[in-house]
């Protein structure tokens, strides 16, 4: 007992020193990205890194590893969940397998504009999904990247109708909702990790895939794909997540820096999309891609997908009422 009393002030001083050192120590965060430089992920990630440096007075730094260098997008969620990776920026469809309620953002034809995406992600719906993702996957969404509608690309032929999809082998992410959507269109799509997709297109293992214009451009898909169809079934949202264990190890001041940087980078991402999508589309045409619109304003695609897919996923997104609520928030 006496020994404890003697050592108590020393222990307290050491703890104080450790706390102060923790407060003062510079952080080096690693961020994984699935997409290449020049992408919406890249723009958002760089803005986030810039803000973390600015808000910490240059003390903390974020190093970005683009182009799947740290593994496939779904693998990075596992790594962040166990705390061996700090940050990952990836498509929301690659988080859904770990936290099914975020699937509401992947249901076909729910998000119909950038404004819809902003309203959902930055409001209470987004906040609930942030909490669910911490609970289910031990990662915290701290920002959102807006990448635009996923358009269909392929190397075989112009696709205008659902019937045109026949015989075209299409890669999709390992995401049940997207697989089911193609099934509703009569296609047994090939689930494949993002990091393997370019090579699979190049080698003709698959003929097509879907992703936004910004992604098609930054990944240089125009080198291996000729035709684009403006299907607008999913608006691509790409969350920036931090390992919850890493986040909880930060002091309050550093947590606030991370959260504030995420908010600023989110707003920046929306502007980046508004500023760049039209010119990127033009450049894809200049590079030889042929862009077509689906016949009849995509109605055939919409009817088949919403009727078959929505009911099958009510349970995984937390009930039909969740989707009803989302549609109500969007004024539909």
Does residue 194 belong to the site contacting ligand MLT (CB under 6 A)? yes
Does residue 221 belong to the site contacting ligand MLT (CB under 6 A)? no
Residue with the shortest CB distance to ligand MLT: 91
Which of these segments, 59-67, 87-95, 286-294, 312-320, binds ligand MLT (CB under 6 A)? 87-95
Cα(44)–Cα(239) distance, rounded to whole angstroms? 10
Which of these segments, 85-93, 122-130, 221-229, 281-289, binds ligand MLT (CB under 6 A)? 85-93
Does residue 34 belong to the site contacting ligand MLT (CB under 6 A)? yes
Quick one: which of 31, 52, 90, 110 contacts ligand MLT (CB under 6 A)? 90
Does residue 45 belong to the site contacting ligand MLT (CB under 6 A)? no
Does residue 153 belong to the site contacting ligand MLT (CB under 6 A)? no
Does residue 211 belong to the site contacting ligand MLT (CB under 6 A)? yes
In which region does residue 186 sit, left (phi positive, over 0), alpha (psi from -120 to 50) or beta (all else)? left
Least distance from C-beta 40 to ligand MLT, angstroms?
A: 8
To 10 degrees, the CA torsion angle through 14, 15, 16, 20? 100
Does residue 176 belong to the site contacting ligand MLT (CB under 6 A)? no
Quick one: which of 103, 173, 239, 294 contacts ligand MLT (CB under 6 A)? 173
According to CB under 6 A, which residues from 232 to 261 bind ligand MLT? 236, 238
Quick one: which of 29, 31, 32, 35 contacts ligand MLT (CB under 6 A)? 35
Which of these segments, 91-99, 135-143, 266-274, 308-316, binds ligand MLT (CB under 6 A)? 91-99
Least distance from C-beta 171 to ligand MLT, angstroms?
A: 8
Which of these segments, 55-63, 88-96, 161-169, 314-322, binds ligand MLT (CB under 6 A)? 88-96
Does residue 91 belong to the site contacting ligand MLT (CB under 6 A)? yes
- CA distances from residue 292 to 106, 229, 298, 302, 319 in whole angstroms, order as listed: 23, 5, 11, 17, 36
Binding residues for ligand MLT, rule: CB under 6 A, are 34-35, 73, 90-91, 93-94, 173, 194, 211, 215, 236, 238
């Amino acid at each position: 007992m006496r020994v404890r009393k003697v050592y108590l002030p020393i222990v307290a001083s050491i703890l104080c020193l450790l706390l102060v050192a923790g407060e003062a120590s510079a952080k080096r965060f690693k961020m994984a990205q699935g997409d290449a430089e020049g992408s919406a992920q890249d723009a958002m990630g760089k803005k986030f890194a810039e803000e973390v440096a600015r808000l910490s007075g240059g003390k903390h730094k974020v190093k970005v590893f683009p182009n799947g260098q740290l593994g496939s997008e779904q693998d990075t969620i596992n790594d962040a969940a166990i705390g061996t990776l700090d940050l990952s920026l990836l498509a929301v469809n690659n988080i859904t397998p770990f936290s099914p309620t975020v699937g509401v953002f992947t249901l076909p034809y729910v998000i119909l504009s950038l404004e819809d995406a902003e309203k959902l992600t930055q409001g209470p719906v987004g906040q609930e999904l942030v909490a669910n993702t911490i609970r289910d996957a031990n990662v915290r969404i701290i920002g959102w990247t807006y990448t635009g509608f996923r358009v269909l690309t392929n190397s075989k032929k112009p696709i205008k109708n659902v019937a045109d999809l026949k015989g075209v082998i299409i890669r999709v992410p390992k995401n049940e909702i997207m697989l089911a959507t193609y099934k509703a269109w009569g296609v047994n799509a090939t689930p494949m990790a993002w990091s393997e997709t370019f090579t699979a297109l190049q080698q003709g293992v698959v003929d097509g895939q879907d992703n936004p214009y910004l992604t098609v451009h930054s990944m240089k898909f125009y080198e291996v794909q000729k035709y684009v169809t403006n299907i607008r079934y999913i608006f691509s949202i790409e969350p920036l997540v931090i390992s919850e264990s890493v986040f909880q190890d930060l002091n309050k001041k550093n947590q606030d820096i991370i959260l504030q940087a995420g908010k600023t980078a989110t707003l920046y991402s929306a502007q980046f999309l508004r500023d760049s999508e039209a010119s990127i589309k033009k450049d894809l045409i200049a590079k030889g891609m042929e862009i077509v619109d689906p016949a009849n304003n995509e109605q055939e695609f919409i009817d088949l997908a919403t009727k078959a897919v929505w009911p099958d996923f009510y349970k995984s997104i937390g009930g039909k009422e969740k989707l009803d609520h989302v549609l109500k928030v969007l004024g539909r």
